[in-house]
Amino acid sequence: MPASEGGCWVWTGARTNNGYGAVRHRGKVEYVHRIMAAAHGMNIDGRTVDHLCFTTNCVRPSHLLVCSREENTRRQRSNAWRSVVAELMDEINGVRGQA
User: Is 90 exceeded by the pLDDT of residue 96?
Assistant: no
Q: What gap in Å lies between CA 97 and CA 34, rounded to an integer? A: 32
Q: Which domain holds residue 60?
A: 10-92
CATH (domain of 70) = 3.90.75.20
- State the SS3 of the chain: CCECHHHCEECCCCECCCCCEEEEECCEEEEHHHHHHHHCCCCCCCCEEEECCCCCCECCHHHEEEECHHHHHHHHCCHHHHHHHHHHHHHHCCCCCCC
**Residue 98 pLDDT grade (very low, low, confident, very high; cuts 50, 70, 90):** very low
Asked if residue 21 is part of any domain, the answer here is yes
Residue 97's pLDDT is 47
Tell me which of 9-18, 48-57, 75-84, 89-98 is least confident. 89-98
Asked if residue 39 is part of any domain, the answer here is yes
For the residues 63-67, what does the mean pLDDT come to?
A: 93
pLDDT single digits (tens) 20-63: 999 998 899 999 999 999 999 999 999 999 998 888 999 999 89
pLDDT, averaged across the chain: 83
Q: Domains in the chain: how many in total?
A: 1
